[in-house]
Structure 1
């Protein structure tokens, strides 16, 4: 006989638990169904070359989304990551053009992103400003900065010394994909296996309780924005390497794709709940959808309509999960309440 305690789909009242179902089954089901549809509807979708192209195209947004996961887990939001992509790419290319070695140029771009994240973090954590307003303001500032640094024109360098970061291959796999996998492995370890990861979940779930438990909430909040900014900076460097130039328009709208990937992957906009693996799956869904629409010759403005619908659905799913969790709280097999930080 199946009991409530042994069935992850139901809560104490015996009702269907949409939150757990979505996190464990729903998101994967959506991905599988989408892939099956595209295999029949989109020409050449299942070819090896196209799969590698999808993986490469996913990598930039997935890296940004990995950083965004830390921010959203803390119950924050970062609307400036798209502009951070532009500034970081420009900074890296300018450093390379000035004669800096490839590794130094890459670090310059990542550090530029981390500094942008630090500004966000300090304003949010130490001045208690609203994350939405702070990051919206920095989004505009950084976009203006990118245009100022390039004088409004792309800076093209066909011999860019770190171009292989965006165009190279390692054992037949695109270099950005390798970087993405490494980033997600590190992020998974940090969130699932370290004290810092538990602190991030705790701060997002209940900052006052976290403070009373001895967690330095302001430091944690600042750090998640730094992580988000640094990873957006890395994505910006990869983008610049991919197009072999510094583009002040780079990353336009990327913040929405990153947020959509995070929420689709099961991370709550209210903070404290989510999985980095889910974010990767959400990024893959968006990448498969975008590539499939292109192969189907769907017009660009129609693609924007579809993306808008996906973002709205992501928020709706998060809202449904919150309601489901409240109506059907999970219990352990002994029937006793469980207290702690859950991923």
Structure 2
């Protein structure tokens, strides 16, 4: 009987799937985005000695917290192959409504927090209703909602900021540091902690729940989902309502950071949020996307904006650079779709 020999073939075959996982387009996009983030940080570190200072790092984290939460809200909508242009003004509207309940009515802090989340979800429900039931294209429906919410914020506030000076603990939502109390060397603001909590919950929803499965399914092939007997309109409305509630969290963060609800603020935030989502690998055609990629994209946008400001680049040129980044992100998404 000939001796039994082992072949290296099984080991080679076992290595193939592992290689394929690392070479998947989604994994490549996240690695590329993370490498771009590191490259930006290295560049701005050499360009300005003040970039890596603690105060500046905290400022970047604060800015990323707001934009990151808005980007997470956009991620759900974009995965369904939709778009939401109202997230910036919805954030402001939620901040104003929190001001109405806390400052004008003098109600307790938990009531104001609940009001921001409720009106965010309600506005998202309205957008979802327009899109799912009235069949208005998402771009037009959310554009109209953006203008509606902007007007409501100005009307309700009387075009004046609403301050939270008489609301104990409100500024702590964003500015205090629970982590810093435990580890003094890490004065990470609560806003960043909230961002990562929202990111973890959103990731679990996308990957572990029925809502997440239908979110991806709607973006992949909505008609096939409809023909399989799923109530597509219901799930689409749920997605937009959830996105609106997440915008309510962003409203609380920015109001706490400024210690006021600024009714004229918000428009333009949607562009940074959508850019962060696309840079992070979520396809504008729907069906693919990750929360981790979105967070990386949000940090890229914040580091870029902060670095340009540190280098004293004029505001108008910062806007030009942001526009170029958005165009490149969309073009990269088109190239990714062509290679599939």
Scaled by the length of structure 2, the TM-score of the pair is: 0.89
Note if 1:103 corresponds to 2:118.
Answer: no
The 1:6/1:166 distance shift into structure 2, 3 A limit, reads closer
* 1:167 counterpart residue number: 175
Provide the residue aligned with 1:80 in structure 2: 86
Contact 2:74 2:273 in 1 (8 A): yes
1:42 to 42, 48, 66: 48
Question: Conserved in 1, the CA contact under 8 Å of 2:65 and 2:195?
Answer: yes
Unpaired runs of 5+ residues, structure 2, are 1-11, 181-187
The match for 1:152 is 159
Deviation at 1:273, TM superposition (A): 0.7
Which 10-residue stretch deviates more, 291-300 or 1-10?
A: 1-10
Question: 1:253-312 CA distances to partner (integer Å, 9 max, x unpaired)?
Answer: 011111000000000001101111100000010011111111111111111111111111
Distance verdict in 2 for CA 1:182–1:6, change over 3 Å: closer
CA contact (8 A) 1:18 1:324 kept: no
TM-score (norm 1): 0.88
1:25 is aligned to 2:31: yes
- Structure with the bigger percentage of helix: 2
Task: Tell me what 1:93 maps to.
Answer: 99
Separation in 2, partners of 1:144, 1:196: 32
| Residue 278 (1) aligns with residue 293 (2) | yes
Structure-1 residue corresponding to 2:319: 304
Count of aligned pairs between the two proteins:
319
Alpha-carbon distance in structure 1 between the residues aligned to 2:115 and 2:21:
47
1:21 deviates by 6.1
Shift of 1:5: 6.4
Tell me the equivalent position of 2:77: 71
Report the alpha carbon displacement of residue 6 of structure 1 after superposing the two structures with TM.
Answer: 6.1
- Hey, what does 2:222 align to over in structure 1? 207
Q: Is the 8 A contact 2:102 2:164 kept in 1?
A: no
Correspondence for 2:257 among 218, 232, 242: 242
Q: Does 1:232 align with 2:247?
A: yes
Residues 1:288 and 2:303 aligned together = yes
Contact 2:217 2:225 in 1 (8 A): yes
RMSD of aligned Cα (Å): 1.9
Q: Structure 1 259/219 Cα, relative in aligned 2: closer, same or farther at 3 Å? A: same
- Give the Cα–Cα distance (whole angstroms) in 2 for the partners of residues 156 and 270 of structure 1: 41
Residues 264, 282 of structure 1: 8 Å contact kept:
yes
User: CA separation in 2, counterparts of 1:294 and 1:108?
Assistant: 35
